[in-house]
Structure 1
Amino acid sequence: MQSIAQIYFDLEMFVQLLCKKTHLFAQLQISNKKKMKQVTILFLLLFCFQLLTISCSQKPQEDVLSSFDLSITNPLDETRIDAFVLIEEKELLEKYPDFNPKGFIVYNNAVEIPSQYNQEGSDKGLAFVLPFLAANETLNLKVSYDPENEIKREYPKRTQAELSHKFDGKFEGREYIGGEFRNVNELHVPKEHTDHSWFIRYEGPGWESDKVGYRFYLDWRNGVDVFGKQVSDNVLQDVGGDGFDSYHEINDWGMDVLKVGKSLGVGSIATFENELARRVDVTDSLYAAITNNGVIYSSVLTKYYGWDVESGKTDLTSNLSIHAGTRLSKQVLTSSAPIENYATGLIKDEKAELLVGGEDQTYGYMASYGKQSLNDDNLGIVVFFRNDQKMQITEDPFSHVVVLKPNNNAITYYFAAAWELEPEGITEIEGFKAFLDKTVRELSNPVQISLN
């Protein structure tokens, strides 16, 4: 440990260095050591006064912060990783009407938890992801907020949603000639646009987590495809700018791993008519928007105006979302008119084994696993659905199909893909089955949220 004399000497050296740096040394050349000590003490007093002034000036800002406590409980006898928590906007604002969506921080003790506020989409409210919840654990958190001022926060960006189309070119027939891609927040799809028009980058909206990426064709095909990722970083911004062929070949980031064709791909929207799963193919017009592009949650809104089903035309609204740390995409569908059924499913591939399970839980699944990727390696795909809405599991020439009964013209289901080359990927069927069973238990037993 340093002696008091040594500390004092160090302080003197610091003052001399400070004076030199600020061009004051010439004015403070003091031959008398006693005077030098007096100057040192003066500097220390001024330094302490400045710290006190800063502290006092910040204290009123801390005093104006409001806060509330909440508890998150894991009802399962097993750990949860990257558990998504949503405090719904209605409940939050009813209890704390002065809550500021732009000025809040979520704390676990003194540690900030990355969070965001969703003002659009099907999951409106305060959202965050808990890295770890132990079996049966109750975690007590605190949310501090400034009712009037914005609080700037920076967290690692673990999700992304984007939509990009060409500008400064023109349609010649079905093809868009020239121009360059730019990201947009929304798009009313031009009537000229169809499959392989070269107008929309990778042919539709894309969304991703640090596990996997997805896209769907924003045209008459309306099929969901999978971008397998070999990295945890966001990659969609670099996909498809150099043409459609590049992402069908293995890259450092990954590749398009699923052949959709005429099938349901994974989780595509359909209705089951005349023993066929019919995708959203005939519509009056299409609209898509990026509703959230956040650090832990991203989402895409799509409106299918005038979807022509057997019972007549309806306007269909789709809200797709994904959160950090998961492979799951959530799909929320609402029809403006009564609809007999919704259907979704998976591509049929002779290289993959069909798996059905979860019948004893609130949620069940239909999945397949095997060497069905475009890279000729293992890929698992799955749809999760509520068992009380399952009408039947069937098939058509192209797809394994689950037919679902709407609730007030709406339905919610989830889908996912697991590629063996993703970081810490699932490389064999037993591991995929374990993932399916754990996901079913988590969907059937969501975390419990209590605002105190």
Structure 2
Amino acid sequence: MKNLTLVLTILAVIAAACTNNKPKEKTVEKAAEVQKTQAYLGLKDGGEWKWVTKNNGNEQWEYKGGEFHPVAELKVDEKHTDHSFDIQFEGPGWESDKVGYRIYLDWRNAIDIFGKKTDSLVLHKVGLDGFDSYHEVSDWGVDVLKVGSSLGMGSVAFWDGEKAIRVEKTDSLYSEVQSGADKSKVTVNYYGWEINDTKTTLQSTLEIEAGSYLTKYTHKLSEALPNLASGIVKHDAAEVQVFTDIKEGWTCLATYGVQTLQEDKLGMCVFVKTDQLLEVTEDKYSDVVVMKPVNYELTYYFGAAWEQDASAVTSMEEFKALLIKQAKYIQ
């Protein structure tokens, strides 16, 4: 019996030794997902509204003091207008690792471009001084486009037969942002848009994916309109082309040339569904595409590539070649 016990003890010791000598299983830790897109909305608090006279003589409300903080949603203050300085860079922004955009949350409701010289996300750091320092070239890039009275880059509008009218007269505005590693979204609701003898609510979403220069722009109307329009700001030095051979079923209005605030080269484009395209036209400020909503809805895409960004495009031919590659983001 003692011998059996001894044998069992020896076997147990050997088994334990073998177990201890086994190589330990490696713990595989999933790498943190790299953030390649962002939707951002910054709002000031800690200051106060004051009635001021601007340098141009205009009198308006302006937000003085305080600091910007990120918010997920915002009902725009009735006192807000252009250059009120209560909203960081005047509205929500969205970006990929390639390009950034913003939309003004005021009577202009137009889209602007942030050219990027980095693949890092930067919008949360842009315009924190409360002014428009982003018009000065920085390590990350710069605001490259002057929008003025135009459609800027792909802004939504109504075509009255002679000109494009942006979403100017509304009862109120609401916006929210959603950020994801590979896809981010901005929503803007325009309540009570007065246009074409109609009052409608327009819900718009702007979506961007990692690796994309393009933004998907979707609109839903509460009341029917005979058309919605979009387009690109005019520049005398820019070449204008209409392409139908980039993406099947889609027509592309494209411009390329010296058309930035910094007087360097930029390509801009709008992709519309060919079967919803009513006409390609122009007004004083913009090259325009006019489209027909279907079941109160419309989707189109717009995008830009700057010669100083990762695309390094320097001609319309190179811009078109880039768009052919980017067409995979159009669904």
Q: TM-score range by the shorter chain?
A: 0.7 to 0.9
Which residue in 2 is equivalent to 1:158?
A: 36
| Contact 1:358 1:437 (8 Å CA) reproduced | no
Q: Are 2:227 and 1:254 aligned?
A: no
| Contact 1:369 1:378 (8 Å CA) reproduced | yes
Code of the aligned partner of 1:307: W
State the alpha-carbon separation in 2 of the partners of residues 436 and 294 from structure 1: 24
| Contact 1:341 1:405 (8 Å CA) reproduced | yes
- How many residues are matched? 309
Which residue in 2 is equivalent to 1:199?
A: 86
| Contact 1:393 1:403 (8 Å CA) reproduced | yes
State the alpha-carbon separation in 2 of the partners of residues 265 and 429 from structure 1: 19
State the alpha-carbon separation in 2 of the partners of residues 396 and 349 from structure 1: 12
C-alpha displacement at 1:177, in angstroms?
A: 1.2
Which residue in 2 is equivalent to 1:265?
A: 152
Q: Are 2:310 and 1:429 aligned?
A: no
DSSP 3-state at the match of 1:214: strand
Q: Are 2:299 and 1:412 aligned?
A: yes
C-alpha displacement at 1:45, in angstroms?
A: 4.1
| Contact 1:311 1:339 (8 Å CA) reproduced | no
C-alpha displacement at 1:238, in angstroms?
A: 1.2
DSSP 3-state at the match of 1:231: coil
C-alpha displacement at 1:48, in angstroms?
A: 5.2
Which residue in 2 is equivalent to 1:16?
A: none
**Are residues 391 and 308 of structure 1, via their aligned partners in 2, closer, same or farther at CA, if it must alter by over 3 Å?**
same
Within-5 A mapping of 1:201-220: 201-220=88-107
Structure 1 residue runs of 5 or longer lacking an equivalent are 1-39, 59-111, 113-151, 447-452
| Structure 2 counterpart of 1:325, from 211, 215, 218 | 211
Moved more, 360-369 or 273-282: 360-369
State the alpha-carbon separation in 2 of the partners of residues 160 and 41 from structure 1: 58
Q: Are 2:306 and 1:306 aligned?
A: no
Q: Are 2:48 and 1:170 aligned?
A: yes
- 1:379-428, CA deviations, whole angstroms, 9 ceiling, x for partnerless residues? 00000000000000111111011000000011000000000000242122
DSSP 3-state at the match of 1:433: helix
State the alpha-carbon separation in 2 of the partners of residues 191 and 223 from structure 1: 18
Within-5 A mapping of 1:350-369: 350-358=236-244, 361-369=248-256
C-alpha displacement at 1:374, in angstroms?
A: 1.1
State the alpha-carbon separation in 1 of the partners of residues 311 and 329 from structure 2: 22
Large movers: runs of 4+ above 6 Å: 40-43
**Are residues 387 and 164 of structure 1, via their aligned partners in 2, closer, same or farther at CA, if it must alter by over 3 Å?**
same
- 1:230-272, CA deviations, whole angstroms, 9 ceiling, x for partnerless residues? 0001011110002433111111100000110000001101011
State the alpha-carbon separation in 1 of the partners of residues 258 and 267 from structure 2: 9
Q: Are 2:176 and 1:289 aligned?
A: yes
Q: Are 2:129 and 1:242 aligned?
A: yes
| Contact 2:277 2:289 (8 Å CA) reproduced | yes
**Are residues 415 and 430 of structure 1, via their aligned partners in 2, closer, same or farther at CA, if it must alter by over 3 Å?**
same
Code of the aligned partner of 1:188: K
Percent identical residues: 47
| Contact 1:300 1:320 (8 Å CA) reproduced | yes
State the alpha-carbon separation in 2 of the partners of residues 279 and 343 from structure 1: 9
State the alpha-carbon separation in 1 of the partners of residues 221 and 265 from structure 2: 36
How much is the aligned-residue C-alpha RMSD, in angstroms? 2.4
Larger helix fraction of residues: 1
C-alpha displacement at 1:339, in angstroms?
A: 1.0
| Contact 2:239 2:316 (8 Å CA) reproduced | no
Code of the aligned partner of 2:41: L
**Are residues 44 and 254 of structure 1, via their aligned partners in 2, closer, same or farther at CA, if it must alter by over 3 Å?**
farther
State the alpha-carbon separation in 1 of the partners of residues 301 and 249 from structure 2: 13
| Contact 2:214 2:326 (8 Å CA) reproduced | no
Structure 2 residue runs of 5 or longer lacking an equivalent are 1-12, 52-60
Which residue in 2 is equivalent to 1:144?
A: none
